[in-house]
Amino acid sequence: MKLGLMLGYSGANLKLPVELVQRAEALGFDSVWTAEAYGSDATTPLAYLAAVTKRIRLGTSIMQLAGRTPAMAAMQAATIDALAGGRRFIAGLGVSGPQIVEGWYGQPWGRPYWRMRDYVAIMRKVFSRAAPVAHDGREISLPYRGEGALGIGKPLKSILHMNPEIPIWLGTGNESSVRLTAEIADGWFPLSFVPGMMDLYRPWLEEGFRRAGGKRWADFEIHPLVSLVVTDDVKSALARMKPGIALYVGGMGHREKNFHNDMMVRRGYPEAAAKIQELYLAGRAQEAIAAVPDDYCDEAALVGPPQRIRARYPAWESSGATGLILQCRQAAGLELMAELAGSRDRPAADPPPPS
């Protein structure tokens, strides 16, 4: 089981926990992850971390597709990978939601399935440098020949010679997008994943592998996000998770299109999902927070004193995930997980030189 450390995106102020990241690297953690919403971006912090770490992989969970063109996403990935010494960057992508896509980035929601397929295909063409990049897609085409075009665009090849195999991971949750992830990506951030859910996802993933021409499970990484808190007060720790869950389930999206609400329903909490959304959209945020079930928080977390976390870890180890991305700011928590996963007993190898 690989271990990752989630840094997320900033609040009002951006402060990178550099010493915690360096401690995670020393403990054998596999990866560190940043995110973006509509504040700090996901890529810039990784360029900084590339300079103060040596081996740990640097990933975005996620870069929002609407925030940059696929060519720019490939350029940023290749640039940070080069700064980090090569073969360290993971380009994690996701569509975000229509409120952010249209409200913040001023981009059309369009057809996310086809946008993601085109986006990944273009990035891989940029990485490979096999030919000047041209793509005739359903949502994205290069050169651009749509409204406002002069018609003189030409296919180009990256000046920078880069690792042609920079991995691309996708954050997805519904059946068609999970199949697509298994088909075209190297890894998956399963939304709202908990132990016991792999039975639902396995046939979708296997269909994607089949469409890819026989991809194997060994060729694919699966890293869910898990909250980790070492504490003797389990109830208080779960309570601290509820405001964020209420925000996403209740207010991060439209009443008719909220992926996080859909995930709560899928995990068996339809009444709670409906109530949280109703309360949140009515401006009753505190009541929405109180309506988040303790069990819902606990299922997706490793919370409590060390003995409780030890007892709950095997369920994650046998869940079908190949790694865990830990949301944690406690050095003691990282130490405990390194012991449980055996990561600090495995000496970290230097990354191979870039191709």
Indicate whether 250 belongs to any domain: yes
Residue 42 phi, psi (nearest 5) = -85, -25
Across the range 246-265, mean pLDDT stands at 84
The predicted structure's pLDDT at residue 228: 98
Whether 20 and 152 share a structural domain: yes
The predicted structure's pLDDT at residue 94: 97
Whether 133 and 241 share a structural domain: no
Measure the CA–CA gap between 120 and 161, rounded to whole angstroms: 19
**pTM reported for the whole predicted model:** 0.93
Q: Compare 49 and 263 and report the one with higher pLDDT.
A: 49
- Cβ pair 293, 270 in contact under 8 A: no
The predicted structure's pLDDT at residue 243: 95
The predicted structure's pLDDT at residue 98: 87
75-84, 158-167, 203-212, 253-262: range with lowest mean pLDDT = 253-262
- pLDDT of residue 202 exceeding 80, the answer is yes
Number of domains, the chain: 2
Indicate whether 333 belongs to any domain: yes
- pLDDT of residue 355 exceeding 50, the answer is no
Query: Which residues span the domain enclosing 333?
Result: 2-227+307-345
Whether 63 and 121 share a structural domain: yes
Q: What is the pLDDT of residues 108-153, one digit of tens each?
A: 999 999 999 999 999 999 999 999 999 999 999 999 999 999 999 9
The predicted structure's pLDDT at residue 253: 67
Indicate whether 147 belongs to any domain: yes
Helix (H) or strand (E) segment spanning residue 294: helix 294-299
- pLDDT band at residue 292 under the 50/70/90 scheme: very high
Indicate whether 352 belongs to any domain: no
* Alpha carbon separation from 17 to 9, 13, 45, 168 (Å, rounded): 12, 12, 11, 25
Whether 325 and 300 share a structural domain: no
- β-partners of residue 187 are 169, 221
- pLDDT of residue 348 exceeding 70, the answer is no
The predicted structure's pLDDT at residue 27: 98
Measure the CA–CA gap between 327 and 342, rounded to whole angstroms: 19
Helix and strand element counts for the chain (H, E) = 14, 13
The domain that contains 15 carries what CATH number? 3.20.20.30
Across the range 277-304, mean pLDDT stands at 96
Would you state the structure tokens that stand for residue 327, as one six-digit string? 């949301």
% the chain with pLDDT above 90: 91
Measure the CA–CA gap between 308 and 320, rounded to whole angstroms: 21
Whether 198 and 82 share a structural domain: yes
- pLDDT of residue 354 exceeding 60, the answer is no
Whether 123 and 203 share a structural domain: yes
- Whether the link from the prior residue into 143 is cis, omega within 30° of 0, is yes
**What sign does the CA torsion over 35, 242, 316, 314 have?**
positive
Whether 191 and 236 share a structural domain: no
Q: What is the pLDDT of residues 161-173, one digit of tens each?
A: 999 999 999 999 9
Whether 194 and 299 share a structural domain: no
- pLDDT of residue 254 exceeding 90, the answer is no
Whether 195 and 281 share a structural domain: no
Q: What is the pLDDT of residues 70-118, one digit of tens each?
A: 999 999 999 999 999 999 999 999 999 888 999 999 999 999 999 999 9
Whether 219 and 281 share a structural domain: no
Indicate whether 161 belongs to any domain: yes
- Cβ pair 109, 102 in contact under 8 A: yes
Whether 73 and 173 share a structural domain: yes
Indicate whether 355 belongs to any domain: no
* Alpha carbon separation from 340 to 291, 307, 313 (Å, rounded): 33, 11, 8
Indicate whether 47 belongs to any domain: yes
The predicted structure's pLDDT at residue 99: 85
Whether 279 and 237 share a structural domain: yes
Indicate whether 351 belongs to any domain: no
